[in-house]
Amino acid sequence: MTKLSNFQQLLAIIGADVKHHYIDAAGIRTSYLEAGSGPPVVLLHGAGGGAVTWYKVIGPLSRHFRVVAFDRPGYGESEKPSARYDKPFNTNWLLQAAEQLGLGRFSLVGNSEGGAVGIHFSLNYPERLEKLILVGSAGLGDDWNKGIILKMALYKLFPSPIWGELLGRNVMQNPDDAHPAWHNYSIDVLKSKGGRRAFFQGRGRAVATYTDEELRQVRTPTLLIWGRDEAFFPVIHGERAARLIPGARLEVIEGAGHLPFMEKPELFCRLVEEFLTPV
- Please give the span between the terminal C-alpha atoms of the chain, in angstroms, as a whole number: 49
Give residue 167's pLDDT: 61
Render pLDDT for 180-225 as a digit per residue (tens, 0 to 9): 898 889 989 999 999 999 988 998 899 999 999 999 999 999 999 9
Dist CA 221 CA 276 (whole Å): 10
CB 246 within 8 Å of CB 34: no
Q: What total number of domains does the chain contain?
A: 1
CB 69 within 8 Å of CB 45: yes
Sequence-ordered alpha helix ranges (H) in 26-108: 58-61, 87-100
Is position 153 within any domain? Answer: yes
Structural domain that includes position 249: 6-276
Beta-carbon contacts of 238 under 8 Å, excluding residues fewer than 6 positions away, are 134, 136, 137, 140, 224, 226, 250, 252
Is position 103 within any domain? Answer: yes
Render pLDDT for 114-140 as a digit per residue (tens, 0 to 9): 999 999 999 999 999 999 999 999 999
Distances from the Cα of 270 to the Cα of 31, 52, 61, 216, 264, angstroms: 27, 20, 9, 27, 10
Region of residue 104 (left: phi > 0; alpha: psi -120 to 50; beta: else): left
Is position 1 within any domain? Answer: no
CB 108 within 8 Å of CB 126: no
Give residue 165's pLDDT: 63
Is position 253 within any domain? Answer: yes
Amino acid found at 267: L
Q: pTM of the entire structure?
A: 0.94
Give residue 158's pLDDT: 72
Dist CA 149 CA 86 (whole Å): 17
Look at the alpha carbons of 34, 225, 45, 114 in this order and tell me if their dihedral is positive or negative.
Answer: positive
CB 152 within 8 Å of CB 199: yes
Dist CA 268 CA 245 (whole Å): 21
| pLDDT above 90 (res 19) | yes
Render pLDDT for 157-190 as a digit per residue (tens, 0 to 9): 777 776 556 566 666 666 667 888 988 899 899 9
| Short-list 90, 84, 75, CA closest to 123 | 90
CB atoms under 10 Å from CB of 200, counted, come to 11
| pLDDT above 90 (res 145) | no
Render pLDDT for 97-114 as a digit per residue (tens, 0 to 9): 999 999 999 999 999 999
Is position 42 within any domain? Answer: yes
Give residue 232's pLDDT: 82
Domain CATH code at residue 17? 3.40.50.1820
Is position 237 within any domain? Answer: yes
